[in-house]
A = this chain, B = another copy of it.
Amino acid sequence: MLFAKPLATLISQLEKLPGVGPKSAQRLAYHILGQPEEDVRRLADAIRDARDRMTLCERCQGFSEASICAICSDPKRDPSLICVVAEAKDVTAIERMNEFRGTYHVLHGVLSPMDGVGPERLKIRELLARLESGSVAEVILATNPTVEGDATALYLAQLLRPIGVKVTRLAHGMPIGGDLDFADQATLLSAFEYRREI
């Protein structure tokens, strides 16, 4: 028995976190044991509190403290423009840009038949409900440019077009500051496809 029970339990719990292997779980566990009791309590409380107090925004399905999130309830945001993302963390990435003034819709995943994730597992019903009012002008599909992200965007585009809403997809192309020499073929091809007159 290499570890006492409470330590073994902690290590196995930490190992479940994404990107935390057995070695870093051990390192984190020993770090926690060596911290002042008050600091450890604060960490444990923060974990529990965040999970208990954060809920899904009824409108955009992003994480929120209130039933309608800060973005959806902000009168300065344009509710006729919905940016659809796979994960809540993608909202943060776009918000950091400080440019987008529309609202979001978080799918909480992408279609992935291999992992058994079909459309019913994503927040698509909730997106369709938001379109029912007819006041939405454009849906921007901002899932990642991966096989699953593209498939999810394609699926949604086919679902939304009949409703008569404008459906767009984020452009693919050269990243700013990128080097043609290092760009992969698919990105370069997309950069040509999306080219525009200057």
Determine if B49 and A10 form an interchain contact, defined as CB atoms under 8 angstroms apart: yes
Picked from B43, B44, B89, B108, the residue with its CB within 8 Å of the CB of A45 is B44
Copies in the complex: 2
Q: Mark A146-182, 1 if CB is under 8 A from B, else 0.
A: 0000000000000000000000000000000000000
Instruction: With both chains docked as a complex, state the minimum distance between the C-beta of A38 and any C-beta of chain B, in angstroms.
Output: 10
How far apart sit A10 and B45, CA to CA, in the bound complex (Å)? 9
The answer to whether residues A89 and B19 also contact, given A4-B63, A37-B51 and a CB cut-off of 8 A, is: no
Interface assignment of A185: CB less than 8 Å from any CB of chain B: no
Main secondary structure of the interface of A (DSSP, over half): helix
Task: Kindly report which residue of chain B lies nearest to residue A56, judged by CB atoms.
Answer: B33
Determine if A46 and B108 form an interchain contact, defined as CB atoms under 8 angstroms apart: no
Task: Kindly report which residue of chain B lies nearest to residue A26, judged by CB atoms.
Answer: B89
Instruction: With both chains docked as a complex, state the minimum distance between the C-beta of A107 and any C-beta of chain B, in angstroms.
Output: 12
Picked from B9, B10, B70, the residue with its CB within 8 Å of the CB of A1 is B70
Interface assignment of A190: CB less than 8 Å from any CB of chain B: no
Interface assignment of A76: CB less than 8 Å from any CB of chain B: no
How far apart sit A70 and B13, CA to CA, in the bound complex (Å)? 22
Determine if B4 and A32 form an interchain contact, defined as CB atoms under 8 angstroms apart: no
| Complex contacts, A75 vs chain B, CB 8 Å | none
Instruction: With both chains docked as a complex, state the minimum distance between the C-beta of A16 and any C-beta of chain B, in angstroms.
Output: 7
> Interface of A with B (CB < 8 Å)?
1-7, 9-10, 12-14, 16-19, 24, 26-35, 37, 39-54, 63-65, 69-70, 87-89, 92, 95-96, 108
